[in-house]
Chain A
Amino acid sequence: MHKRTWVSGLIRWGIVLAISVLTLTPVVWVLSLSFKPPQEWLAYPPTLIPRQPTLENYLVLFWPGNPVGVVSEMVRTAEPVTRAFINSLIIVPISTALSIIIGFLAAYGISRFRAGGNFLPFSVLTTRMFPPIAFAVPLLVYYRSLGLIDTHLGLILMYTTFTLAFSLWMIKGFIDSVPRHIEEAAILDGASRWRVMFTITLPLIRGGLAAAALFVFIMNWTEFLFALIFTSRFAVTLPVQVSRYAGAVGRYYGPQAALGIVASIPVLVAGYMIQRYLVRAFTFGLVK
């Protein structure tokens, strides 16, 4: 008996370790890469700790023209990441908020009133059933005639639409888990449906909302395909900016890695801020 628990503990820790190694290796690699000078980017055998660590990769992100070293020479024509950073910080939070707000209202209607009939929740998913590129060409035509190409609004609308299926389904699950009786009690207390929604249901599922919001935020923050196709100069987002660090001879891995690290900071901060809700959401809501 004692031996068995010892073995099962070992197996469990082994699995946790394997998953951690799998997920963390690329992160550690990118972190290490961001401090390497060009000759070490593709060095063989690879080094985990840079032999000649440098901050140049980070500096050129913001001051591409400043002659610091070899890397600044490579990326001399690139734009500073400031614009892409600001663009992402405008587009992503707004589209995430819209997606969650619309998702909550729609999920409430579907969960409590079966709004739109039985088929609606499923049909919302169809937006995710096709490969996104299939939408690109028709949308490009629309966007050109509407003048939405390379605008914040263009990407905000697109991101809101494409993440709505996720917000709707996640939030619907959380609303379904709120007992109807609690809402009915509030209604019998004299509260209107709107009041019930915002003072009873919403606070009860705020953990779930936070989880859904973080999920959608990450999806939007890392979206590359549409951002690449529908922006050119003005509304470029961070993932597109990462792809810009490439030249005739190949990719500039150092600045790309550095930007990857910088770009992940807002997500880390957001995740840390809502962490206490996440634990509750994943234990109460999803695992029933």
Chain B
Amino acid sequence: MSKEQILIRLEELTKEFNGTVAVQDLSLEIREREFLCFLGPSGCGKTTTLRMIAGLERPTRGEIYLRDQRITDWPPQRRNIGFMFQNYALFHHMSVYDNLAFGLRVRGISRMEIERRVRSIAQALELESVLHLRASRLDLSTMQRVALARILVIEPQVLLLDEPLNNFRPGLRELMRAELKRWQYQFGRTMIYVTHDQEEAMTLGDRIVVMNAGRVEQVGTPDEVYWHPATLFVASFIGRPPMNLIPVEYRISEGRAFVRSPDFEIKVDQRRSIIEQSQALPHLILGIRPEQLRIWDPQGSFPTSWTRLPVQIDLVRPLGRKLILDVKTPSGLMLQMIVPSTRHFAPGERVEVAFDPEQIFLFDPQTGRGLY
């Protein structure tokens, strides 16, 4: 990637609050015009990272670069960064017009120019009819548009959004999510978006930064984090229902490599060299996505290489066109699978499950690293 496409560069960014580490050694390059999502459970340091980029928190260590200029010590006023807070932080005592004009007035822009820019952004976000209203009298989705307009009107280098959809009820949430995506195309700005909602991150993000306990677990496209989870945490955090994780043992017999659980045995000759770098051998964790497990049926065209496993259905959860089945293996292990709801399943029913042994994930239980 060429140098000028990088908008923001974080170098070993660390933030400690009274001795507790909120963010640790975070290094990241954020590209021009991309939609980057920070995803992680609450308290993982994603909001703190955002606030450091904005200049609202000073990093304990590390550097922040904006277009190759070191801005680590710049006050937030100088950075020209738009920040959308979870509760929008509108100026409730002012009209919508004054809210939008605030940043421009601070910059000493002429009255006519302010009027022109406020009108034009209000038109783009359909706010013309509420310009005269007090900000405290708006409904949530209008507040969101005002908050966005307020940060767009100062023409920021980058927009930071801190869980802006948290206050919406589920149906409206999807709608506003689509709106956000549309706005990003429309205004063509770099957006950094913080959320704990994986669906939001998957649908919005060009790339996702998965964080946990102050550290970056993985940076990648939605497909990458889903199909190539770098760590056990990413594998278990992303996907609903979550990936099935099964403790297995690594064995070599007659010169061939296997992973073995009480219920099945899989040949892993091709991955042998990677597996043997693992710290915790012979123990490994095997992962299978719920949709990778299929109901075996004799007429079906399943390759003979697939592993088969007799199970008993424990719970059936219909989801419309799909079903979530909780099944129990002979050794008592519970697995979750997603199947099309083309036939009926009943709890207690015995079926056979099949999966492609080539597609399984393996993790080092000690370091949590994915073994690819």
- Contacts from A to B (Cβ < 8 Å): 179, 181-182, 184-192, 195, 199-200, 203-204
Q: Which of B56, B93, B103 contacts A184 (CB 8 A)?
A: B56
Shortest distance between the CB of A201 and any CB in chain B (Å): 10
B322 part of interface (Cβ distance < 8 Å): no
Which A-B residue pairs are the 8 nearest by beta carbons?
A189-B103, A181-B89, A185-B89, A181-B85, A190-B106, A203-B93, A182-B89, A191-B106
> Most B CB atoms within 10 A — which of A184, A203, A204?
A184
Residues of A within 8 A of B154 (CB): 189-190
Q: Given A184, A191, A195, A203, which contacts B89 in the complex, CB threshold below 8 Å?
A: A184
A181-B85, A195-B106 in contact; A187/B91 too (CB < 8 A)? Answer: no
B77 at the A/B interface (Cβ < 8 Å)?
A: yes
Give the interface centre of A179, A186, A187, A188 by most chain B CB atoms within 10 Å: A188
Within the complex, which residue of B76, B80, B82, B90 is in contact with A187, where a contact is CB–CB below 8 Å?
Answer: B76
**Contacts of A203 on B, CB cut-off 8 Å?**
93
The number of chain B residues touching the other chain, given as a range, is 20 to 34
Is B209 part of the binding interface, using a Cβ–Cβ cutoff of 8 Å?
no
Q: How far is the CA of A280 from the CA of B151 in the complex (A)?
A: 30
Answer whether residue B92 sits at the interface, using C-beta atoms and an 8 A cutoff.
Answer: yes
The B73-94 residues at the A interface (CB cut-off 8 A) are: 76-77, 79-83, 85-87, 89-93
A184-B83, A185-B83, A189-B106 known; 15 other A-B pairs, CB under 8 Å? A182-B89, A182-B90, A182-B91, A185-B91, A186-B102, A188-B54, A188-B79, A188-B81, A188-B83, A189-B103, A190-B77, A190-B106, A191-B77, A192-B77, A204-B93
**Once the chains are docked, how many angstroms separate the CA of A187 from the CA of B83?**
10
CA–CA, A122 and B81, complex, Å? 38
Q: How far is the CA of A204 from the CA of B154 in the complex (A)?
A: 23
* Listed residue (A181, A185, A195) with the most chain B CB atoms within 10 angstroms of its CB: A185
A179 to B79, CA, bound (A): 22
Instruction: Give the residue among A187, A192, A195 with the most B Cβ atoms within 10 A.
Output: A187
CA of A184 to CA of B90 in the docked complex: distance in angstroms? 11
A192–B106 alpha-carbon span in the complex (Å): 9
Q: Specify the chain A residue showing the minimal Cβ separation from B82.
A: A188
Contact among A188, A190, A192, A200 with B91 in the assembled complex (CB-CB below 8 Å): A200
List chain B residues, Cβ under 8 A from A184: 56, 76, 83, 85, 89
Q: Mark B94-135, 1 if CB is under 8 A from A, else 0.
A: 000000001100110000000000000000000000000000
Q: B289 in the interface, Cβ–Cβ < 8 Å? A: no
User: What are 11 contact pairs spanning A and B, CB under 8 A?
Assistant: A181-B89, A182-B89, A184-B83, A185-B91, A185-B150, A186-B102, A189-B150, A190-B154, A191-B106, A204-B92, A204-B93
- Whether B81 and A181, one on each chain, are in contact in the complex, defined by CB atoms closer than 8 angstroms, is no
A-chain residues with CB within 8 Å of residue B77 when the two chains form the complex: 187-188, 190-192
Are the C-beta atoms of A190 and B103 separated by less than 8 Å? yes
Contacts of A179 in B (CB 8 A): 87, 89
Chain A residues with Cβ under 8 A from B54's Cβ? 188
Alpha-carbon gap, A188 to B76, bound state (A): 6
Complex Cα distance, B56 from A182, in Å, reads: 13
Q: Whole-angstrom distance from the CB of A283 to the nearest CB of chain B?
A: 14
Distance from A181 Cβ to chain B, minimum over Cβ atoms (Å): 4
* CA A189 to CA B98, docked complex, whole Å: 13
Report the nearest A residue to B85, measured CB to CB: A181
The smallest beta-carbon distance between B351 and chain A, in angstroms, is 53
Residues of A within 8 A of B102 (CB): 186, 189, 191, 199
Contacts of B82 in A (CB 8 A): 188
Instruction: Name which residue of chain B comes closest to A187, CB basis.
Output: B76
Query: A182-B91, A184-B56, A203-B93 are contacts. A190–B85 as well, Cβ < 8 Å?
Result: no
Task: Tell me, in angstroms, the Cα distance from A204 to B136 when the chains sit together.
Answer: 12
Instruction: Please report the C-alpha to C-alpha distance between residue A130 and residue B107 in the assembled complex, in whole angstroms.
Output: 50
Structural contact, B93 and A190, CB atoms closer than 8 A = no
**Known A200-B91, A204-B92: A185·B106 in contact at CB below 8 Å:** no
**CA separation between A272 and B230, bound complex, in Å?**
67
Chain A residues lying within 8 Å of B91, measured Cβ to Cβ, are 182, 185-186, 200
How far does the alpha carbon of A45 sit from the alpha carbon of B154 in the complex, in Å?
77
B307 to chain A, nearest CB (A): 53
